[in-house]
Amino acid sequence: MKHTLALISLLLTICATLQAQEAVRASMAGERAAEARKRARTETYYNLDLDPVKLRFSASLGSEYNDNVNLSQLQPKDDFILRPQFGINALWQISQRNSIDFRLNLGYEYYFNEVRPSRVIISGDENSGVNFDLFVGDFAINFHDEFSLSQDTSQNPTASGIADIFRLENTLGTRVMWDLYKVLLEFNYDHYNYIPLDDTFEYLNHASELGSIRASALLNPALTAGLQLGGGLTSYRDDRLSDNQHVSLGPFARFKPSDAMTIRAGVGYVIYWFDPSSFITNATEQTGLYADLSIDHAATKRTRQTLSIGQSLTTDLNSTPIELFYVRYGVSLSIIRHWNFRPYLTFETGRETRGVIQEDLTRYGGGITASRAITQKLSGAITYQFLIKESSVPNFDYTQNRLVLNLIYHF
């Protein structure tokens, strides 16, 4: 922990020095950010204006065929799924600069073959939750509470043979940015809850306290660079799983060589400490490097591509360390009138250490979405996805194919 305190002290010293150098220069960045946010929100189409609250409603109907809902190698089960969903977006412009934004995307998943129970869901993909933006001088302050209610496990690389984990996820936190013209100081804090709602997975119930401090400087009009210190505490209700703590530190940069391209890069060192549990009989420490390089390139007005390559050290749901190397590539093509095509590819490989068991895993997949506006208010999309996992643990391999149809109507 002495090293941790030293890292914190170093970052705070850097931040203080940057503040002293830049505080004498007035900045209108906070004012500009507030005006830009206000324009973006007030120009959005709203169905109902109850001044000062504006409301926008939408509805969608989705259908899916999934040939391996339970991510199983030995006994894959397929199902047809129907997903009606209703969305509401409410904006309350409290003042010229400050606003509250509420979003809720409530739906229902009906499984015809009952591989999973049919249940109410709240989509987190559309950022269901509440955001309160407050601009004071050069300070931009955001308070947020974002939540989802879901049961799909396919996003978890270590999940195999698990049909569903029905859970509530909630993130409550704040973000404070202090813009000092050429120096930006940012503080983030989140309280995260993962709450399984079925008794079978109650042991996965945990809460995390996550925070970070970032200091960045505008070195020239195209280049911004800085330093980030992060950390967190995670505690489980079930003593079979390990409470853990982590600290990370590293530099990052953002380079914009042209209006069409943005390059972001970050690298650093992370340390995890794990308390004793049934999986880990003695307290342990895991260290490693993290890195990420992402490129966003708008080649033309109708084509855009993104690439992300990186290495991470995190924990899985069982509070065991997992190291991953990943590559993700996506393209957006609007080359046919009224149509948009979004193909993507993903690859990840790594190792999870669960007590005396180690799983070396590789997952790769891809897909494509074709969407178009049918009328001014009605749009449709069809998506095909495939996902393949190869594992060193017997029977943890699987292949999954999904075909999804969606119709979305904005009132």
Average pLDDT over residues 275-290: 80
Torsion of CA 63, 69, 74, 75, to 10 degrees: -70
Q: What is the pLDDT of residue 93?
A: 85
Which residues on adjacent β-strands are paired with residue 332?
304
Q: 151 and 165 in contact (C-beta within 8 Å)?
A: yes
Question: Residue 5 — very low, low, confident or very high, per pLDDT cuts 50/70/90?
Answer: very low
Instruction: For residue range 59-86, list pLDDT tens digits in order.
Output: 999 999 999 999 999 999 999 999 999 9
Q: What count of other Cβ atoms lies within 10 Å of the Cβ of residue 71?
A: 23
Q: Report residue 36's pLDDT band, with 50, 70 and 90 as the boundaries.
A: low
Distance (Å, whole) CA 338 – CA 342: 14
Question: Token pair of 104, please?
Answer: 């809720």
Distance in Å from the first CA to the final CA of the chain = 55
What letter would DSSP give residue 40?
Answer: H
The Cα–Cα gap between 270 and 279 comes to 22
Higher pLDDT, 1 or 74: 74
Q: Where are the domains of the chain?
A: 2-410
For the cut 50, the answer to whether the pLDDT of residue 131 exceeds it is yes
Whether 404 shows a pLDDT value over 50: the answer reads yes
Predicted TM-score (pTM) of the model is: 0.86
Q: What is the mean pLDDT of the chain?
A: 87
Q: Rounded to the nearest 5 degrees, what angle is found at the Cα of 381, between the Cα atoms of 380 and 382?
A: 140
Distance of alpha carbon 258 from alpha carbon 242, whole angstroms: 47
Q: Which helix or strand (DSSP H or E) is residue 14 part of?
A: helix 2-22
> Of the candidates 322, 318, 237, 244, which has an alpha carbon nearest to the alpha carbon of residue 276?
244
| pLDDT value of residue 2 | 39
pLDDT, residue 281, reads 63
Question: Residues 139-172: pLDDT tens digits?
Answer: 999 999 999 999 998 888 888 888 889 999 999 9
User: Omega into 343 within 30° of 0, i.e. cis?
Assistant: no
Q: Is the pLDDT of residue 12 over 60?
A: no
Q: Do the strands 139-150 and 167-179 form a parallel or antiparallel pair, or are they unpaired?
A: antiparallel
The percent of residues in the chain predicted with pLDDT above 90, rounded, is: 67
Provide the token pair at 392. 């060193």
Please write the tens of the pLDDT for every residue from 174-207. Answer: 999 998 888 999 999 999 999 999 999 999 999 9
On whether the 2-410 domain is CATH 2.60.40, my answer is no
Of 221-230, 355-364, 396-405, the range with the lowest mean pLDDT is 355-364
Asked if 132 and 100 touch (Cβ cutoff 8 Å), the reply is yes
Count of alpha carbons within 13 angstroms of residue 341, beta-carbon side: 8
Q: What pLDDT was estimated at residue 24?
A: 32
Residues whose CB is less than 8 angstroms from the CB of residue 343 and which lie 6 or more positions away in sequence, other chains included? 330, 331, 333, 366, 367, 368, 369
User: What is the rounded distance in angstroms from the CA atom of residue 153 to the CA atom of residue 120?
Assistant: 16
Q: Which residue has the higher pLDDT, 318 or 7?
A: 318
DSSP 165: -
Q: What is the pLDDT of residue 23?
A: 33
Match 């190291």 to its residue by tokens: 323
Residue 296 has pLDDT above 90, yes or no: yes
The Cα 218–Cα 31 span in angstroms is 18
How many other CB atoms are found less than 10 A from the CB of residue 221? 7
The one-character DSSP state at 277 is -
Taking 50 as the threshold, does the pLDDT of residue 27 lie above it? no
Q: Which helix (H) or strand (E) holds 217?
A: strand 206-220
Measured CA to CA, the distance from residue 42 to residue 37 in angstroms comes to 9
Q: What is the pLDDT of residue 155?
A: 87
